[in-house]
Amino acid sequence: MWPMSFFCAFLVSSFLLVSSKQVVISNVLPRLDTNGSYVDAHDGCLVKFNNTYFIYGTVYGKCHQSTTICDGECGYINNTFALYTSSDLVNWTLISNNIVPEVTKDNNHINYWMPNVGYNSRTGQYVMIYWSSRYGFQNATVALAVSSTPFGPFVNVPPLVMQGGRVISSTTGLFVDDDNTAYVRYNTRDAPLRHVIEKLSTDWMTSTGQFSIIFEKQDYPWYEGGGVFKRKGIYYTMLSTDCCFCQWGADARTFTSTDLLGNWTYLSQLDYCADGKTPPDHVDGMNINPCSINDPYGTNFTIPAQQFNVATLPISSEETLYMYYGERFRSSKDGIKGHDFQAWIPIEFMDNDTPKPMKFYDNFTITIQKEYSAELI
């Protein structure tokens, strides 16, 4: 006689359940966590691991910015990196406001910004790159930290030594391709001023020395970088003027390529001035509003934000949300920098798959699907 356990083994099966939820993303209401506190995680990344969304960002804290642009104090010193998680992009839980504990050793005089995290499926490690004034404006290295889980803490490891420039400038970003190959996008301070994308080794711990130049120019504005994303086999990156904590924002000059290490081509402007005009190719300094040359409080960009990333979020088995991810500096009602709003703007495409010029949405609605398995006995 067969044991009962034998029959049970054939009577238990698992199946996949899918639940759908409509959510409203707001750009005009404060983004709060489950404790009712402001989500203080800026200029980093919004990524999805399994069924959970993760925001890794810089904690700006409760300082007040004293000028129309950066003052070298507020948002510069005493920064840490925070992590918040959500199942629906609306309800956020604070996991840690110091996910890289080592930065507290010297953040009273070293600047820390732009944590970007990816998962290396070959090594099973979660890898973070971030901007540090130990390296930025100093040499060609990029800070690197790792964790065995997406929840951290992340521990520093030897930094990446990049080959596409002698001095890295003001922005760094991480892009992970479909085949798990990782790339770092950065801008350079050594002339000509360049935006470079560079391939990492299979463990993401070193550079391969392979890179391509997205764009270069000799004069200001030298442009800072937003995110890199891929759609239907085409790679995109969005570059913008350097506004340094300004309230008018920056543009989104978009470049494309079919090969990350190949030639990049200028496609179009995706963030015009709010009056519909095209921002000029040249302004004399970061204290000048390109949309209102003689008045920093005049016309802003349509998206009055400085871009730091593009969030590529699979929100269902059939749909991926490509979302501009930027900081609306000096936008908080109480003037506290850590309370500044972010701009989350869906990138929309025309019938020929060309990105449309962006619109500012006070609110937009998406449908999120969540998959989970269950057992049937």
CATH code of the domain covering residue 64: 2.115.10.20
Tokens of 326: 């930027």
Q: How confident is the model at residue 303 (pLDDT cuts 50, 70, 90)?
A: very high
The residue-averaged pLDDT of 139-148 equals: 98
Give the total number of structural domains in the chain: 1
DSSP structure class, residue 150: T
Looking at residue 217, what is its pLDDT?
83
Q: How confident is the model at residue 221 (pLDDT cuts 50, 70, 90)?
A: low
The residue-averaged pLDDT of 348-374 equals: 90
As a whole number, the mean pLDDT across the chain is 92
Question: pLDDT digits over 180-190, tens only?
Answer: 999 999 999 99
Tokens of 142: 């990029």
User: pLDDT: is 319 or 344 the higher one?
Assistant: 344
What percent of the chain has a predicted confidence (pLDDT) above 90?
81
Contact 356, 350 (CB under 8 A): yes
Q: Is residue 242 predicted with pLDDT exceeding 90? A: no
Q: Is residue 300 predicted with pLDDT exceeding 70? A: yes
Question: pLDDT digits over 101-119, tens only?
Answer: 999 999 999 999 999 999 9
Contact 331, 300 (CB under 8 A): no
Q: How confident is the model at residue 377 (pLDDT cuts 50, 70, 90)?
A: low
Contact 65, 337 (CB under 8 A): yes
Give the burial class of 171: count Cβ atoms within 10 A of its Cβ; 0-12 exposed, 13-18 middle, 19 or more buried: buried
What percent of the chain has a predicted confidence (pLDDT) above 70?
93
Looking at residue 18, what is its pLDDT?
72
4 phi and psi, to 5 degrees? -60, -35
Q: How confident is the model at residue 15 (pLDDT cuts 50, 70, 90)?
A: low
Tokens of 312: 């590529």
Q: Has residue 51 been placed in a domain? A: yes
Contact 175, 216 (CB under 8 A): no
Tokens of 95: 């996991």
Q: Has residue 11 been placed in a domain? A: no
Q: Is residue 11 predicted with pLDDT exceeding 80? A: no
The residue-averaged pLDDT of 263-292 equals: 93
Q: Has residue 156 been placed in a domain? A: yes
Tokens of 347: 């990138």
Give the burial class of 113: count Cβ atoms within 10 A of its Cβ; 0-12 exposed, 13-18 middle, 19 or more buried: buried
User: pTM to 2 decimals?
Assistant: 0.93
Q: How confident is the model at residue 5 (pLDDT cuts 50, 70, 90)?
A: very low
Q: Which of 236, 211, 240, 249 is nearest to 69 (CA)?
A: 249
Range of the domain at 128: 39-376
- Give the separation between CA 204 and CA 183, rounded to whole angstroms: 8
Sign of the torsion angle spanned by Cα atoms 275, 366, 237, 330: positive
Q: Has residue 316 been placed in a domain? A: yes
- Give the separation between CA 118 and CA 124, rounded to whole angstroms: 11
Contact 305, 342 (CB under 8 A): yes
Q: Has residue 12 been placed in a domain? A: no
Tokens of 37: 């506190």
Q: Which of 214, 298, 247, 283 is nearest to 67 (CA)?
A: 247
Looking at residue 243, what is its pLDDT?
84
Q: Which residues of 183-219 are buried (b: 16+ CB within 10 A; e: fewer)?
A: bbbbbbbeeebbbbbbbbeeebbebeeebbebbeeee
Rg (C-alpha) for the chain, rounded Å, is: 21
User: pLDDT: is 299 or 20 the higher one?
Assistant: 299
Looking at residue 90, what is its pLDDT?
96
Q: Has residue 32 been placed in a domain? A: no
The residue-averaged pLDDT of 313-334 equals: 93
DSSP structure class, residue 10: H
DSSP reduced 3-state for 375: strand
The residue-averaged pLDDT of 360-365 equals: 97
Q: How confident is the model at residue 13 (pLDDT cuts 50, 70, 90)?
A: low
- Give the separation between CA 252 and CA 279, rounded to whole angstroms: 10
The residue-averaged pLDDT of 161-178 equals: 96
Looking at residue 267, what is its pLDDT?
97
Q: Has residue 7 been placed in a domain? A: no
Strand-pair partners of 156: 145
Q: How confident is the model at residue 225 (pLDDT cuts 50, 70, 90)?
A: confident
Q: How many residues are recorded in the chain?
A: 377
